[in-house]
Chain A
Amino acid sequence: MSALDELRQLRRGGVQVRKRDNKAAFWFLAPWFAGLVFITIGPVLASFGLGFTKYNLIQPPRFIGFDNFARILSDERLHNALGVTFTYVLVSVPLQLACALGVALLLDRGLRGLAFYRSAFYLPSLLGSSVAIAVLWTQVFGTDGLVNRVLGFFGVEGKGWISDPDTALSTLIVLNVWTFGSPMIIFLAGLRQIPAMYYEAAAIDGASRWSQFWRITLPLLSPIVFFNLVLQIIHAFQSFTQAFVVSNGTGGPSDSTMFYTLYLYQQGFSRFDMGYASALAWFLLLIIAAFTAINFWAAKYWVFYDD
């Protein structure tokens, strides 16, 4: 067999191998491709189109140009909803991560009963997004609720925390902080990656626990902090259930728990203004993308990569 023949055969073989894999890959990925077209990317593109129309599901969509997007700029209830959502995200996420890190530090390194504590602190993360816990919150922070009974013990007079527009959002922030268990578990996994010898060396050099935390733990953990921050911000932007249940779907009192997602739901599924809801959905995507981009940009200045 000549070298040329061998080369040709090799080429043919190579092409065949790639072809066979392509065909197999097509079948293995067929459900995922269909999902991409019909359930995820397809609807994302379609919602961009719908954003330029007036559509109520009954009459066919009518093209109205940039009206929906202009409305975003002038809709004052939406601006309030943005304010509520930003407050919620920017207050509850740092508090939640601070709790997660604090407790993770307490739990680190061969503590007795670690598995038990970890489970106990993690449980609220699983329950937190349920309707049942939102129902509980309605009672706990109500006028005659658990919190006021406990405050009564100390002679403090409470109030209807959820019915007061000044404090309603705070109760939802508390609820989000309460679910610090899942970032805590990610922190615990990260803490375990830090070699013990760093601390031993620092102790020999006479570094205090405090400076060990600032000079060793925090820099080495910063990629995990960043990861949690990105994840929890995206997650917090999508909060819906709690605000919906606590306010009976109204976002009240006086729009104080009107999350962006709740406003979108009202426009789309109570008023069936599908065009405006689509424009709102795209705007939300842009906001989340912008926050994530800012996060990644800022990471250059504070996230420390060992390698």
Chain B
Amino acid sequence: MPAKHLGLVLIGIVMLYPVLWMVVSSLRPDDEIFRSPGLILDSLKVENYAEGWNALTPSFGTYLVNSAIVVLGCIIGNLVSCSMAAYAFARLHFSGKRWWFGIMLGTIMLPIHVIIVPQYVLFSQIGWVNTFLPLIVPKILATDAFFVFLMVQFIRGLPRELDEAARIDGCGHPRIFLRIILPLMTPALATTTIFTFIWTWNDFFGQLIYLTDPDMYTVPVALRTFVDSTVATSWGSQFAMSVVSLIPIFLAFLIGQRYLVKGIATTGGK
């Protein structure tokens, strides 16, 4: 047994070492980053953070706010639209239900790359390029079918007697949904929130394509512009901003571990 723990700890260290090293190195002067593979700080250079923060105009604060807006919009969009669609698929009888459900499942597997060109054409025709709308509106329209499926599975597990009792008491579907199903499905909503947060925060492809004006950049787009720009040669400040960009993910991970693990185990997320 001790050997097993030793092995696991070793694997863990090897895996997380580069990330720890990046955090430590973000506080180092550049020559030391290249010299030292260790985790002990010989000399401290907190200026990396100020340097990185102000390297681009506008400063990193703007990108954090932009990312926060996009993430918040996507979370609200997913929670509202996916729960509505899930209620219909899990509880309502309507014509062609199996067929529509099949289509919904099919869209889970649909790569964004297949739809991005016509989608871009559409959004650029209506003048949405360089706004957050192309990133948020698809979520309001329940296109993250993965979450619809996750919620359908959850609602199916809730006892039907509850809705039937409510129906006998004269509740219509909107009220059954709002008063009974929605409060009971908070675990599924939490899982959706946390996954949407992490995936949207990390998303690069969509944000790279739709946001080309520096004032509208989100964190990933800004970070990659920063790394790419000839002005920035300092690894220290690049690492500093990389660490800043990962902090929200790490916090989400700490707070939402339980929901993340459950969400993956039941539906197979990333």
A125 contacts across to B, CB distance below 8 A: 270
Q: Is the CB of A274 within 8 A of B22?
A: no
Q: CB of B245 within 8 A of chain A?
A: yes
Query: Complex Cα distance A192/B268, Å?
Result: 16
Q: Chain A at the B interface: mostly helix, strand, loop or mixed? A: helix
Q: Is the CB of A34 within 8 A of B220?
A: no
Q: Is the CB of A186 within 8 A of B223?
A: no
Q: Which of A22, A32, A228 contacts B104 (CB 8 A)?
A: A32
- Of A69-77, A210-218, A279-287, the stretch lying at the interface with chain B is A279-287
Q: Is the CB of A106 within 8 A of B4?
A: yes
B110 contacts across to A, CB distance below 8 A: 40, 44, 285
Looking at the assembled complex, report how far the CB atom of A150 sits from the nearest CB atom of chain B, in whole angstroms. 5
Q: Is the CB of B15 within 8 A of A124?
A: yes
Query: Complex Cα distance A205/B138, Å?
Result: 57
Q: Is the CB of A235 within 8 A of B16?
A: no
Looking at the assembled complex, report how far the CB atom of A289 sits from the nearest CB atom of chain B, in whole angstroms. 9
Q: Is the CB of B220 within 8 A of A189?
A: no
Q: Is the CB of B107 within 8 A of A121?
A: no
Chain B 14-71 residues near chain A, CB threshold 8 A: 15-16, 18-19, 21-22, 33-37
Q: Is the CB of B109 within 8 A of A132?
A: no
Q: CB of A127 within 8 A of chain B?
A: yes
Q: Which of A17, A39, A269 contacts B119 (CB 8 A)?
A: A39
- Of A4-12, A110-118, A160-168, A297-305, the stretch lying at the interface with chain B is A110-118
Chain B 80-133 residues near chain A, CB threshold 8 A: 80-81, 84-85, 87-88, 92-95, 97, 100, 103-104, 107, 109-122, 124
A-B contact count (CB 8 A): 253
Q: Is the CB of A238 within 8 A of B173?
A: no
Looking at the assembled complex, report how far the CB atom of A251 sits from the nearest CB atom of chain B, in whole angstroms. 14
Q: Which of B22, B81, B266 contacts A31 (CB 8 A)?
A: B81
With A28-B85, A57-B121 already in contact, the answer to whether A135 and B265 are too (CB < 8 A) is no
Instruction: Indicate with 1 or 0, residue by residue over A178-194, a CB within 8 angstroms of chain B CB atoms.
Output: 10001001101100000
Chain A 20-48 residues near chain B, CB threshold 8 A: 21-22, 24-26, 28-29, 31-32, 34-36, 38-44, 46-47
Q: CB of B142 within 8 A of chain A?
A: yes
With an 8 Å Cβ cutoff, the count of chain B residues facing the other chain is 91
Interface residues of A (CB under 8 A from B): 17-18, 21-22, 24-26, 28-29, 31-32, 34-36, 38-44, 46-47, 50, 55, 57, 103, 106-107, 111-113, 117-127, 129-133, 135-136, 138-140, 144, 146, 149-150, 153, 178, 182, 185-186, 188-189, 227-228, 231, 234-235, 237-238, 240-241, 244-245, 248-249, 261, 264-265, 268-269, 274, 277-278, 281-282, 284-285, 288, 292
CB pairs A–B below 8 angstroms (20 shown): A25-B88, A28-B87, A29-B100, A31-B85, A32-B85, A32-B141, A35-B141, A43-B117, A47-B115, A119-B257, A120-B12, A121-B11, A122-B260, A126-B249, A131-B242, A144-B34, A185-B261, A189-B266, A240-B204, A268-B120
Known: A21-B94, A123-B250, A139-B238. 11 other contacts (CB 8 A): A32-B104, A32-B142, A35-B81, A44-B115, A123-B19, A125-B270, A132-B243, A135-B242, A149-B36, A234-B109, A274-B121
